[in-house]
Structure 1
Amino acid sequence: MTSDEILVGYDGSTDARTALGWALDEADRTHRPVRLAYAFEWLTVAGWVGPGIAPGTWPDELARRQVEELVRDAVAGAGGSHPGITVHGEVLDGPPALVLTERSASAALLVLGSRGHGGFAGLLAGSTAVSVAAHAHCPVVVVRGAAPAEGGGRAGHVVAGVDGSAGSLAALGFAFERAALRGVPLHVVRVWGRPVPEWTPTDLHLDDIAAREREALDGLLADWQRRYPQVEVTVEVPAGSPAAVLVEATRHAQLVVVGSRGHGGLRGMLLGSVSQQLIAHAYCPVAVVRQE
């Protein structure tokens, strides 16, 4: 595996197939090869559940051959739909979150569906997606639901959530690059919390706070705008809940980009609540960028 590959966590589920389609479109834009990775795990208590295999079945070579055939078919289908892209597939042994996190160390980007075959009904975001987004060594894109196709992807702009933390600054650079590759505008959002009245000076007005937040955001954007002058940038500095504002901002977006943890995160929490809320509720794919 080379460090320029787009790694796709693939298990044959509907979400995984959607994630693969997204990754292939991204490979078209970035001229990168794609690698499908199926993590082959046997559960010692309930038994492994896979294509055509009933719970409680003891591991055998037939099951593994079925998985390998599933991956080969997916690779062949990807080559047919995107003939200019090099696509590889492999079956790896171990828990999906652990295997994908380890493989991400030699990938340029990791793409996976929000919930695979291991998800429970009603669970909005699978544990694998959340865990990988928290620990991966490269940016992670979690593709939720069925992405509408228009010219090989979803129409709309790119959204970036920025709070000034190291993770959000890394996410801002990733968002500028993706907007430039797609030839679409970038909408940058910096959300601030309303001050508690009894702790706020009487001469401090909300308009003044918003102006300061806008000034701080403009300072963060200046260098990136010089690097990507072709990207049209709009900004928004609303008061409110960062997660709620960003989820709403994704309604007409093709991608939202955030850091894995912002200023509001607790020490030791690898994935912040905003990132988790977006993975669970965003209307478009979510890119989570970690600051190593």
Structure 2
Amino acid sequence: MAEKKIVVGFDGSPAAGVALTWALDEADRTGAHAALVYADEWPFWAPAASMVPSPALRPDDYVDEVIGGVLDRAVTTARKTHPLVPVSATTVRALASTALAQQSEQAAMIVVGSRGHRALAGLLGSVGAAVGAHAHCTVVVVQGRSAAGAPVVAGVDGSPLAPVVLRFAAEQAAGRKVALRVLRLGPPDGEHRAAAGGQDAFDAVVTAVRDEFPDLEIHVGAVTGNSPDALVAAGDTAQLVVIGSRGRGAVRGLLLGSAVRHLLRYATCPVAIVHEHEDQEEHQEQEAERSAARVGP
């Protein structure tokens, strides 16, 4: 990836404005470019809307005048509040979830608000959940408040994605100069047979992060009850909750784990949904080699 880019799903709504501010702060902190993407969904809903007894048509210059104006104002404000962050904006004719999932192929992160202007959002489902399920990079759904000084929380289970989740959370905590709180998520009922091995794997992942981030304050705990509820509760005193896009038993690229869906519905702070991609897989291979070298023959 030649340029580190944070893509922001933006529709001019208050929730999108909160997400944009979060993304600009992140871009300012990491040296990334912020790219606003407005998904013009009208061509997809217009056929159905034309059957309703109401003025269904919109002016021909709507994209340039209305959507363009929304984006221009957002970019102007962003350049004033975050002058060091390169900012761009574009309009894409596609469903929001499709547009952002496609953008994720060339992005380091996708940032969206918890809800926007879409009148059918409650019926059709969350854009954040849809993008979180299909994106090729980390997706951050900004909801509630991101309290400065509060820790970053990582929910880690026994899935292969655990090292990637924990490393991303550690990077966030270290970059923000706050503590990292790691919660080991217990297996569902009836899956306790591998508990001992799971503990060993969890300890190895935490040890690797401690080695890579020696100055990071890390607190480790376990969740023995309902994992999704525990993550929501932890988010009440966190500035970010980080979790993998899928847990044990989820279908790669299609489903979000139950904990993620629960978090997106009830969390009171931003939620980061971490995905695997080539750079992360390469890091996992390197970390495995380092672990093998520490253990020896």
Using the size of structure 2 for normalisation, the TM-score is 0.83
| Runs of 5+ unmatched residues, structure 2 | 278-297
C-alpha distance 98-268 of structure 1, shift in aligned 2 (>3 A): closer
For residues 122-158 of structure 1, give each alpha carbon's deviation from its aligned partner in whole angstroms, at most 9, with x where no partner exists: x49952111101111110000014x25xxxx633000
For residues 163-202 of structure 1, give each alpha carbon's deviation from its aligned partner in whole angstroms, at most 9, with x where no partner exists: 1212232111110111110011000001225866xx999x
Report the identity percentage: 41
**What is the correspondence of 1:207-222 to structure 2 with a 5 Å cutoff?**
215-222=200-207
SS in 1 for 2:4: coil
Distance in 2, Cα, partners of 1:157 & 1:195? 29
Q: Are 2:183 and 2:221, in contact at CA under 8 Å, matched by a contact in 1?
A: yes
C-alpha distance 213-82 of structure 1, shift in aligned 2 (>3 A): same
**Are 1:170 and 2:169 matched, yes or no?**
no
Cα RMSD (Å): 2.7
> When the two structures are aligned, how many residues end up with a matched partner?
271
| Runs of 5+ unmatched residues, structure 1 | 49-53, 202-208
Aligned to 2:284: none
Distance in 2, Cα, partners of 1:128 & 1:55? 26
Structure 1 runs of 4+ with >6 Å offset: none
SS in 1 for 2:273: strand
Distance in 2, Cα, partners of 1:59 & 1:128? 26
Aligned to 2:210: 225
Distance in 1, Cα, partners of 2:192 & 2:237? 36
Does 32-41 or 60-69 show the bigger shift? 60-69
Aligned to 2:46: 44
**Are 1:261 and 2:246 matched, yes or no?**
yes
Aligned to 2:126: 127
Distance in 2, Cα, partners of 1:184 & 1:124? 38
- Which residue identity is paired with 1:134? A
Task: Report the structure, 1 or 2, having the larger helix content.
Answer: 2
For residues 204-234 of structure 1, give each alpha carbon's deviation from its aligned partner in whole angstroms, at most 9, with x where no partner exists: xxxxx6x876554222211111111111100
Does 276-285 or 187-196 show the bigger shift? 187-196
Q: CA deviation at 1:267?
A: 7.1
Distance in 2, Cα, partners of 1:166 & 1:77? 41
SS in 1 for 2:161: helix
**What is the correspondence of 1:46-125 to structure 2 with a 5 Å cutoff?**
46-47=48-49, 56-58=56-58, 60-120=60-120, 123=122
Aligned to 2:220: 235
**Are 1:251 and 2:236 matched, yes or no?**
yes
SS in 2 for 1:102: helix
Aligned to 2:274: 289
Q: CA deviation at 1:30?
A: 0.3
Alignment partner for residue 182 of structure 1, among 176, 187, 193?
A: 176
C-alpha distance 257-156 of structure 1, shift in aligned 2 (>3 A): same
C-alpha distance 188-80 of structure 1, shift in aligned 2 (>3 A): same
